[in-house]
Amino acid sequence: MGPKVADVPVKERCFLKMIRGRKGFRFIILCLLLSSMQVQAASYLQTLPPHLIQSVSEQEIYEGMIALGMLECPVLEKADCSKAYENVKNCIVRIGMGNAHGSGLIWKLEADRVIVATNKHVLDYWQEEDSYLYFPQGYYMDAELVGVSDEYDVGFLAVDNGQFAYRELEQLRSVSVHLPVYEQLVQGEEIFCVGAGPEVGELLFYEAQLEETRRYIADFDAYMLYGYGFARTGMSGGGIFDGYGNLIGMVTGGTLQNEIAGVPLTDLVKVYEGIALSQAKLGDR
């Protein structure tokens, strides 16, 4: 015989009244279901692998920045040669070769090396035992010749990333290369040239005006990007940029009549893709 209602505390009395009707029956079923779900959830959690504390290496961070395009030279939304120069100057390197020097462009940052583009005639003086690259961040680095073109005045060097700390690599910037931008250039557009100066660490900046993206120049026996401006000795292998900071060509020569000529961007891309393809084939052997 169960307890009398008068003998049951108030809280328990309310509970007994609730479970006597339909509502009470539903309440009991709900409690049983919740209890079963808790048991199943606990069983499932026991089958999961333990939580791991994952860390990301500096190398992975660097490679991630490359993949996301974070190490490419930024470009302006509105053309301004002086402001664009402040961005692109981090892409220019000095190529030292004994008593001679030239300029180069940080063409591409890869997981294991830094690719630098320059003129083939600059590399005529390149000897690995006494040549070096000087980066605008203050780094002196050894490099090796990757390849030169038989058709164009273009060649490429590579710097082993092992010479850098990853924090140093993250300070480098590669030139902004976008062929659609080059193809939309118009006569009279404001452009500028950047190259290495006479002193280590010195950069030269000259504004210019575009005349043609491709003009045959007999002195080079090639079609060159041509404009009106100024370039001096040592700037060969440097960059010609539009007012936004996009690379449009490589400084190759100039005259006393304030004319400049450079290898067009399309030819630079063509040469690099050819060299990269040749290296890939050699790697597969």
Give the per-residue pLDDT at 230. Answer: 93
> What's the pLDDT band for 188 if we cut at 50, 70, 90?
very high
Can you give the length of the chain in residues?
285
Least confident range from 32-46, 62-76, 78-92, 265-279: namely 32-46
CA within 13 Å, CB half, 82: 0
Give the per-residue pLDDT at 128. Answer: 86
Q: Are 154 and 217 in contact (CB under 8 A)?
A: no
Which token pair is 213? 């993206």
**Quick one: fold of 71-284?**
Thrombin, subunit H (2.40.10)
Which token pair is 73? 């030279």
**Which pTM does this prediction carry?**
0.80
Give the per-residue pLDDT at 38. Answer: 56
Which token pair is 254? 């100039």
Give the per-residue pLDDT at 143. Answer: 97
Estimate the crossing angle of helix 10-20 against helix 22-47, to 10 degrees.
100
Q: Which residue has the tokens 């040469």?
A: 271
Give the per-residue pLDDT at 170. Answer: 95
| pLDDT average, residue stretch 223-244 | 97
Report how far apart, in Å, the C-alpha atoms of 127 and of each of 133, 158, 198, 217 are. 12, 14, 20, 30
Bridge partners (DSSP) listed for residue 140:
134
Which token pair is 92? 């220019």
pLDDT at residue 3 greater than cutoff 50: no
Least confident range from 54-63, 137-146, 170-179, 188-197: namely 54-63
| pLDDT average, residue stretch 223-251 | 97
Give the per-residue pLDDT at 56. Answer: 83
pLDDT at residue 27 greater than cutoff 80: no
Which token pair is 232? 């001096």
Q: What is the mean pLDDT of the chain?
A: 87
Phi, psi of 149 (to 5 degrees): -90, 145
Give the per-residue pLDDT at 28. Answer: 53
| pLDDT average, residue stretch 239-260 | 95
pLDDT at residue 162 greater than cutoff 70: yes
Task: Please write the tens of the pLDDT for every residue from 61-115.
Answer: 999 999 999 999 999 999 999 999 999 999 999 999 988 999 999 999 999 999 9
pLDDT at residue 15 greater than cutoff 50: no
Give the per-residue pLDDT at 256. Answer: 83
The DSSP H or E segment spanning 65 is helix 58-67
